[in-house]
Structure 1
Amino acid sequence: MKKTILDQLQQDRAEKRPVVLATFLKTGEQRLLYLFGKKGLKHIDPRIGEAARAALLEDKPRTIETEQGPLFLNVFNPPLRLILIGAVHIAQALVPMAQFTGYEVTVIDPRSAFGSAERFPGVTLSNDWPDEAMAELKPDLRTAVVTLTHDPKIDDPALIAALKSDAFYIGALGSKKTHAARLERLRAAGISEHEFARIHGPVGLSIGAKSPAEIAIAILAQMTAALRQPAERSPATEAA
């Protein structure tokens, strides 16, 4: 591997940028592919681009045949992240579940009485307003965002920021009536109709969940489906 490629790969990993290292096995020629940013989108064989994108989404390397011979696509994905808006009881249940499945979790709540180290020991907390916190966190294609407060002043800015990002999952707690009112507010804020389909609201798989822990299970299950079955991604079904 050339030093320039190694240095760039290390920088990408340090900055948590998803990248595919493409290696032509016959010649040893290598190239870094950035399928979700500005780099690498041009001058790529569409079939290679599709294969690299699929490898990133599946988090699994693959080899494909090209005119130049077999091409090995090695995946370097950043860690999975979960950004929770609202340090509520459901968040307290969801945090350890998400951490156990490999997510780096950040809880955002400007209400310091809720978002405290006492209630969330060992968890990254932010007491900034969601729009400020989200600008700092920069959700990407390995990030899930879930709003839990029921407070439009807190949830709506987070949803708007999430919809402008590449977050693979966006969920919002609340009933169908609450979600309908939420969409009206987002519409007034300039969010387009086709973007609404990205919001899983009411959040979570419809499994009849009642307790905070059960609702957390429903949310994590839906996040997993969105991550592992990207071709089947669709708006959320009925609330948990």
Structure 2
Amino acid sequence: MEHQHDRIAELALDWHRAGRGAVLATVVETWGSAPRQAGSQLVIDAGGAIMGSVSGGCVEGAVIVEAREALQDGRPRLLTFGVSDDTAFTVGLACGGTIRILLEPVGAALPEQMLADLVMARASRQPLAYVVNLTSWQRRLISGPPDALEKAAADPLAHPLAGTVAARMRADATGMAEDWFVSIHNPALRMVIVGAVHIAQPLVLMARACGYDVTLIDPRETFGSAARFPDTPILDSWPDEALAALAPDARTAAVTLTHDPKLDDPAIRIALGSDCFYLGCLGSSRTHAKRLERLAAAGVTPAQIARIHAPVGLDIGAKSPAEIAVSIMAQITRVLRKG
């Protein structure tokens, strides 16, 4: 579920175009136990209205003052703040740290069209990076996906940061690369679950807590009800049709849980034909062996079959639905972060 705090770039563009003025404040570097990680953002308008956070409340007041001055002179700024132990304690930290914050007035320092292009790429789920040199103030957008950037990095005409951006996209790691600040804008992670069964209930909650947008697919009305899955999008069409319409990409994890070949198998074939980074299928080793026979008979290649994680989840001896959901979420996280 998207919140306003996830739409800082979009709000900055809206506020600028509405004549309110907008300054983007972005954490570019941290040391110690800093309150917010690199990439955290705050947008400030000419009247001092804000959305977002760069410090959990420690330095926002000073940032707002500097931002309003930046709107007047149109110049970017780099601010460095040390958060004392006493101040850190008031926002729930064990000890203080240091944060470095970039202020960019939209229109004057950060071109409106560049911000609009970034917003458009985010809306269309296109991975990209916004890079800015904190010495020369050069700026540009570098588009993904990581595979293409890695290939482009060998080209002498490619941007020298292409390889760095590819690696940071894979790791979801915004931060400094020498004099450049590299802000990664990956599409939101998605999880598509086929089968609104008992395991899906804790899995939905865990996936949301890990930052995934979750969609359930189940044509069986008794299973896929709003009462059992409140605030969760539920598609009641056949799983293969629903999954194809969702167009799984490299930021999508797919999990099949129905135990019914009529529902699972067609969805599995769609997932295997997509770029989803993870496909996990519920079922015992014996059940999975029979599944593989059916998939092979349907023309699924050995290379595609090798992408399936089954029995789904890490082998942690899980028994209950919640424990199985933990094992699934852990396996998805391992594949995402470690490949």
Check whether TM > 0.5: yes
Q: CA deviation at 1:4?
A: 3.4
Question: In the alignment, which of 15, 29, 33 is matched to residue 143 of structure 2?
Answer: 33
The answer as to whether partners of 1:34 and 1:41 remain within 8 angstroms in 2 is no
Matched letter for residue 78 of structure 1: P
Question: In the alignment, which of 325, 329, 333 is matched to residue 216 of structure 1?
Answer: 325
Instruction: Tell me if 1:51 matches 2:161.
Output: no
Question: In the alignment, which of 163, 170, 174 is matched to residue 61 of structure 1?
Answer: 174
SS at 2:130 equivalent: strand
Q: CA deviation at 1:102?
A: 1.5
What residue is the counterpart of 2:303 in the other structure?
194
Instruction: Tell me if 1:80 matches 2:189.
Output: yes
* Inter-CA distance 185–11: structure 2 relative to 1 (3 Å threshold): same
In 1, the alpha carbon distance for the partners of 2:295 and 2:113 equals 44
Question: In the alignment, which of 216, 226, 231 is matched to residue 117 of structure 1?
Answer: 226
Moved more, 86-95 or 56-65: 56-65
Q: Please list the CA deviations of residues 107-155 of structure 1 after superposition, one character each: whole Å capped at 9, or x if unmatched.
A: 1001111111111111110001112111221112221110000111111
Larger RCO (CA within 8 A; separation ≥ 6): 1
If the length of structure 1 is used for normalisation, what is the TM-score?
0.84
* Inter-CA distance 120–191: structure 2 relative to 1 (3 Å threshold): same
The answer as to whether partners of 1:88 and 1:149 remain within 8 angstroms in 2 is yes
Moved more, 106-115 or 94-103: 94-103
**CA RMSD between the two structures:** 2.3
What residue is the counterpart of 1:132 in the other structure?
241
Matched letter for residue 163 of structure 1: L
In 1, the alpha carbon distance for the partners of 2:154 and 2:180 equals 12
The percentage of counterpart residues that share the same residue type is 49
In 2, the alpha carbon distance for the partners of 1:29 and 1:45 equals 22
SS at 1:82 equivalent: strand
Q: Please list the CA deviations of residues 186-229 of structure 1 after superposition, one character each: whole Å capped at 9, or x if unmatched.
A: 22222211122211011000011111111111101111111121
The answer as to whether partners of 2:193 and 2:200 remain within 8 angstroms in 1 is yes
* Unaligned ranges ≥5, structure 2: 1-109
Which has the larger Rg? Answer: 2
Question: In the alignment, which of 148, 152, 176 is matched to residue 285 of structure 2?
Answer: 176
Q: CA deviation at 1:173?
A: 0.3
Q: CA deviation at 1:105?
A: 0.9
What residue is the counterpart of 1:89 in the other structure?
198
SS at 2:276 equivalent: coil
SS at 1:89 equivalent: coil
* Unaligned ranges ≥5, structure 1: 231-240
What residue is the counterpart of 1:146 in the other structure?
255
* Inter-CA distance 223–43: structure 2 relative to 1 (3 Å threshold): closer
The answer as to whether partners of 1:22 and 1:32 remain within 8 angstroms in 2 is yes
* Inter-CA distance 51–181: structure 2 relative to 1 (3 Å threshold): farther
The answer as to whether partners of 2:203 and 2:325 remain within 8 angstroms in 1 is yes
Count of aligned pairs between the two proteins = 225
If the length of structure 2 is used for normalisation, what is the TM-score?
0.61
Moved more, 22-31 or 207-216: 22-31
In 1, the alpha carbon distance for the partners of 2:283 and 2:212 equals 23
The answer as to whether partners of 2:150 and 2:166 remain within 8 angstroms in 1 is no
